Structure 1
Amino acid sequence: MIWSKAPSKVVLVIRLLMALVFAFYGCVKLAGGQYYYGDWDDLSKSTVDGTSLVWLFYGYSPFYGRVTGLFELVPALMLLFRRTTFIGAGALFAVGLNITLMDFAFDYPFVKYMAALYTVLCGFLVVQDRARLRDVFSDPAVDAARRSPENSRGRARW
C-alpha cells in the first residue's frame, strides 16, 4: 500500500501543514469570522445565494460557530505533539469529512477540493498510526486467544 510506511519527514510536513490549516480556520471561527453573525432583517432568498445561506445559518448561533472553531483548533494543536497526533488526526479526519460533505452538498467552488484533500491527508496521518488504530478496535480477549499456544498448534481456532 502506498501509505504503509511514509518517510518520517513527509509525515512531519503533513502534520504541520494540517495543524496550520485547521488552527487558522479554528481561530477565524473563534474570533467571530467565517460565519455571518449580523442582522437578518434584510435577508431573503432573492438576495442571498445558497452558499451564503449556509454561512448565515451557521452564524445564527454564535455559540455553535465558536464550538466548531474549537473542534478545529484543539485537534490541530494536538498534531503538534507526537504523543497526541493520532487523536488529533482522527478528530480532524471526522471534522474534515463533515466539511467536505457540506462543501460538496452545497456546491462550494474550489474549496470543496481543498477540504477533500485535507480530509485525505488527515486520513493519511491516521493510517500512519495504524497500530494505534488497530488497538482502538481490537478486543484484548480475542487477541490473547489468538496468541495462545493451543491456537498456534491449530486446536482452538475461532
Structure 2
Amino acid sequence: MITAPLPAAHPEVPVHDQPWPWWRRFTLQFGSLYLALYFLVGVQGFAPLPDPLRFALADALSRALFQAPLPPPAGPTGSGDTALDWAWTLALLLVSLLGGAVWTVLDRRPPRPRLTLTLSQVLRVALIWWLAIYGLSKFNFGQFGLLGSGQLDTPYGESSPMGLLWRFMGASPGYQWLAGVAEVLPALLLLHRRTVTLGALVAAVTMTNVLALNLFYDVPVKNFSAHLLLSALVLLALDARRLRALVTGGAVPAQERRPQPRVMTALAWLATAALLGAAALQARTGLAALHTDRQRTQVSAEPLKTRGFHWVNETPYNR
C-alpha cells in the first residue's frame, strides 16, 4: 500500500525571531540607551563630561522646559542630588527617549540576543564596581566612621536626619560590616555568569534598603542609588521567564548560550580573588582602627562618656 508522505514538520520559531510589539522593542531600546548613557556620563559616571559643559547643557534644558535658569553649582559638595544632577539626568532621559523612538521606527526587527547580552554586561559592570566600592568602605569604617566624643555630645534634637543615620551606623562596627557583606556579596555573585540572577536578586534587596535610607533620612545619593536598584531590577527582568517558572513550578526551554571563553572565566575568578583580598585588607584596617579607638576609650578621663554612657549615680549606671 502506498501512502502519501507526511508533511514536513515546521520547526519552532526561535524566541528571538518571533515578532515583538513596538512598545516592547521601544522599552528595550530606550532602556538600553538610557542606562548606558547614565553610567557612562551621568551622575558618578565612568566618563563624566566636564562640569562647565554639563552645566551649560542642563541650564539650556531648564530654560527651555521650565523658563528658569539652573542654579549655579556651589562647588564640590559631595551631593549627588543637586539641581544640576537632576537636570542632567532629565537631559539623558530625553535624549534616550528620542534615540529609542528613532531606533524603534528604523529597525522593526526583533532585537538580537546580542543587545540584551550587552545590556546585561554593562549593568553587571556598573553594579559590581559600585557595590564593591561602597561595600569595601564599610569594612574599614571609611563611610560612617566610629563614634567620637563630639558626636556623642551632640544633642539629639540638633541632629540632622543624615547625621542621625551616620551616628546610628557609627555606633555599631559590627553592623557596618554586615552592611558591607550585603554589598560585596552580590558583587561577587555578579562576577560569574551562572550566579548573575542570584546576584541581581541580592543586589535588589540590598539597594532597596539603601534607597529607603537615602530617601527617608535625606541622604543626598537618592538619584544614584535609585539607578543602582533599577539596574538590579532590569537584570532580573531579563531573566523574568525563568524566574516566573521558578515561582509557578512551570518549565522554560534551556537558554542557548555560547560557551564562555576561558579567558573570561579566568578573569572572573581573578576578580573574585582580588575582591576577597581587598575585603580582607579593609577588614584588617578596620580592626586596627577599632583597636585604637578602644585604647583611646580606656585612657580617657571619662571612659563611659566616650562609649555613649553617662553617670546617673555611682551604682549602677545606665545609658
Residue 243 of structure 2 aligns with which residue?
Answer: 133
Residue 61 of structure 1 aligns with which residue?
Answer: 172
- Contact 1:86/1:132, CA 8 A, preserved across alignment: no
Q: Which amino acid in 1 is paired with 2:243?
A: L
Superposition deviation, residue 136 in structure 1: 2.6
2:156 aligned counterpart, secondary structure: coil
Residue 90 of structure 1 aligns with which residue?
Answer: 201
Report the Cα distance in structure 2 between the residues aligned to 1:120 and 1:44, rounded to whole angstroms: 37
- Give TM-score scaled by structure 1 length: 0.80
- Number of equivalent positions: 140
Residue 9 of structure 1 aligns with which residue?
Answer: 118
Higher mean C-alpha displacement, 31-40 vs 13-22:
31-40
Correspondence list, 1:7-46, <5 A: 7-40=116-149, 41-45=152-156
Superposition deviation, residue 59 in structure 1: 1.8
Report the Cα distance in structure 2 between the residues aligned to 1:36 and 1:58, rounded to whole angstroms: 8
Report the Cα distance in structure 2 between the residues aligned to 1:19 and 1:128, rounded to whole angstroms: 17
Superposition deviation, residue 83 in structure 1: 0.4
Report the Cα distance in structure 2 between the residues aligned to 1:132 and 1:52, rounded to whole angstroms: 42
Report the Cα distance in structure 2 between the residues aligned to 1:94 and 1:32, rounded to whole angstroms: 22
Q: Which amino acid in 1 is paired with 2:236?
A: V
Greater RCO (CA < 8 Å, at least 6 residues apart): 1
Superposition deviation, residue 80 in structure 1: 1.0
Give the percent of matched residue pairs that are identical in Structure 1 and Structure 2.
28
Deviations 1:71-107 (A, max 9, x none): 1001111111110100000110111111111111112
Report the Cα distance in structure 1 between the residues aligned to 2:215 and 2:137, rounded to whole angstroms: 22
- Give TM-score scaled by structure 2 length: 0.41
Q: In the alignment, is residue 100 of structure 1 matched against residue 207 of structure 2?
A: no
Report the Cα distance in structure 2 between the residues aligned to 1:139 and 1:26, rounded to whole angstroms: 35
Report the Cα distance in structure 1 between the residues aligned to 2:170 and 2:225, rounded to whole angstroms: 20
Report the Cα distance in structure 2 between the residues aligned to 1:56 and 1:135, rounded to whole angstroms: 44
Superposition deviation, residue 47 in structure 1: 5.1
Residue 124 of structure 1 aligns with which residue?
Answer: 234
Deviations 1:2-56 (A, max 9, x none): 2497431121011111110001101001121212312253222365422111011
Q: Which amino acid in 2 is paired with 1:75?
A: P
1:7 aligned counterpart, secondary structure: helix
- Contact 2:116/2:238, CA 8 A, preserved across alignment: no
